[in-house]
């Protein structure tokens, strides 16, 4: 992905450098813009070397919703890490790119709704939080990503 000039800083986060990979999950990338942070998670089940399991097993896990818990935990652990280091002073948006051509719009809506519940993105009025945990989140395939994020165009190499 070629980054536009509006990016202040972009970093790969899902590696051993943050020092807590033994107990915390992490999103793949954190991108800082002038007015927000983007937490980006990328899954590429069409690229067999990119998966810890086989493609069909991963797709079943995704379609059943079991992946939502993992994606939510990646966000929460990364949020906690960034908050504890004082780097969460701007609104945070979490986007998951699933590079799977067979995903339908209905699949993306369903997984986005499940991700919102897993984070949690929408807090009941009875919960006395004064700040949002996430300002927005969505699940994309390559086509919907490129339609929404023209400045962060994705293509297979």
Confidence band (pLDDT; 50, 70, 90) for 92? Answer: very high
- Confidence (pTM): 0.89
What local confidence, expressed as pLDDT, does residue 140 receive?
Answer: 96
CA–CA separation, 41 vs 60, rounded Å? 19
Task: Encode pLDDT of 25-64 as tens digits.
Answer: 899 999 999 999 999 999 888 776 666 667 778 778 877 8
Task: Encode pLDDT of 45-54 as tens digits.
Answer: 877 666 666 7
CA–CA separation, 36 vs 148, rounded Å? 17
Strands 29-33, 7-12: pairing kind: antiparallel
Cβ proximity of 22 and 16 under 8 Å: no
Backbone φ, ψ for residue 17 (5° rounding):
-60, -30
Q: Output 152-155 pairs: Cβ under 8 A, ≥24 positions apart.
A: 152/1, 152/3, 152/4, 153/1, 153/2, 154/1, 154/97, 154/99
- Tell which residue, 136, 135, 155, has the closest CA to residue 145: 155
């Amino acid at each position: 992905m070629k980054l536009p000039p509006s990016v202040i800083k972009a970093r790969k986060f899902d590696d051993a450098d943050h020092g807590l990979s033994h107990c915390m999950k992490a999103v793949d990338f954190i991108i800082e813009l002038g007015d927000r942070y983007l937490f980006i998670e990328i899954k590429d089940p069409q690229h067999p070397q990119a998966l810890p399991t086989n493609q069909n097993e991963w797709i079943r896990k995704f379609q059943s919703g079991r992946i939502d818990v993992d994606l939510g935990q990646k966000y929460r652990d990364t949020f906690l890490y960034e908050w504890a280091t004082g780097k969460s002073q701007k609104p945070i948006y979490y986007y998951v790119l699933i590079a799977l051509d067979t995903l339908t719009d209905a699949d993306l809506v369903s997984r986005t709704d499940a991700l919102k519940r897993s984070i949690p993105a929408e807090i009941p009025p009875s919960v006395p939080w004064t700040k949002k945990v996430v300002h927005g989140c969505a699940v994309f395939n390559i086509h919907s990503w490129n339609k929404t994020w023209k400045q962060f165009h994705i293509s297979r190499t």
